[in-house]
Amino acid sequence: MLQTQTEAGFEIVRREDFSDVTYLLAVRHPLMARAAKPGQFVIVMSHPEGERIPLTIADFDAAEGTVTLVIQAVGKTTREMQQTCTIGTHLHALVGPMGVPTHMGRAKKVVCVGGGLGVAPIFPQARGFKQNGAKVIGILGFRTKNLVFWEDRFRDVCDEVILCTDDGSAGIKGFVSDGIRQAIAAHPDIDEVVAIGPPIMMKACAETTRPFGIRTMVSLNPIMVDGTGMCGGCRVKLGDVVKFACVDGPDFDGHLVDFDDLMLRLRRYAEEEKAAVARWSETCRMRALLAAS
């Protein structure tokens, strides 16, 4: 794991906002950019008193010396980062790359599925499989056309792209599971499916491929504290076997993952998270009132 920084921290050199809640941060970290592999993640602290949050690496560029993160502002910390993380500011801590890199193997035809925010971290895997000599079919799922991002990047690295939107405003109308069915119908020789997105989406992907016996890997992001396997917070169940996402994953066999247990664990601190957002929002409101007075 690498963490070398200036006294100020790790500089944010680029930012892009995809929607009112989804944003990209490119962070300067030359050592990590050279070491990172598809499927790995980092743990970030935005300031010294901040929460440690795991984020999957969405891209890395050794030539530029940058690591790219795509973040959704859903909790207190990610909302705070949305406000404070601008070009020229710094992250206090950036630890990684962590986790076991995605195993590329000898697959000749691979489907890479990304749903919503999961579109970002599936990109390095699609590129990696393509560089490894596989034919790659990308399936991207969004709620609506206005939320679509990186379609052009996937078309650059994939042999075929199937775009799905819930409302049919772009691509085919339906979920990524519909896209998988379309891909299987056109390509009965698919060797592997890799899916990243919300747990309910990854579960649907695994159930779609199960009757066909297609190897299906999913990337899990359970509650995580230390990232070294010591806290046990990120444990996941694969049948009767318990694994830790931070050191054994984050990629696991989707046909073995107990998604119901995973989703239950992800809701465990929902009330505490809601209270933290409320306290932070009230603090921001008071600061705005004081600044205006």
CATH 3.90.440.10 fits 109-219, yes or no: no
Question: What is the model's pLDDT at position 96?
Answer: 86
Taking residues 170-186, report their average pLDDT. Answer: 94
Taking residues 171-176, report their average pLDDT. Answer: 93
Q: Where along the chain do its domains lie?
A: 10-98, 109-219
Question: What is the model's pLDDT at position 288?
Answer: 59
Reported pTM: 0.85
Helix locations, the chain, DSSP H: 30-35, 76-84, 119-131, 151-157, 176-186, 199-209, 245-248, 259-266, 270-292
The reply to whether omega before 199 is within 30° of 0 (cis) is no
* Spatial separation of the C-alpha atoms in residues 167 and 164, rounded to whole Å: 9
Question: What is the model's pLDDT at position 113?
Answer: 96
Taking residues 238-262, report their average pLDDT. Answer: 89
Tell me the pLDDT tens digit for each residue of 205-246.
Answer: 999 999 999 999 999 887 777 777 777 778 889 988 999 888
For residue 55, list its beta bridge partners.
Answer: 42
Q: Tell whether the model's pLDDT for residue 14 goes beyond 80.
A: yes
Question: What is the model's pLDDT at position 134?
Answer: 94
* Spatial separation of the C-alpha atoms in residues 211 and 260, rounded to whole Å: 20
Confidence of residue 290 (pLDDT cuts 50, 70, 90): low
Dihedral sign (CA 152, 30, 136, 244): negative
Phi, psi angles (nearest 5°) of residue 108: -95, -25
Q: Tell whether the model's pLDDT for residue 150 goes beyond 80.
A: yes
Tell me the pLDDT tens digit for each residue of 182-195.
Answer: 999 999 999 999 99
Taking residues 59-78, report their average pLDDT. Answer: 91
**Topology adopted by domain 10-98:** Elongation Factor Tu (Ef-tu); domain 3 (2.40.30)
Q: Tell whether the model's pLDDT for residue 125 goes beyond 80.
A: yes
Distance of CA 231 to the CA centre of its chain: 22
Question: What is the model's pLDDT at position 37?
Answer: 93
CB atoms within 10 A of CB 229: 15
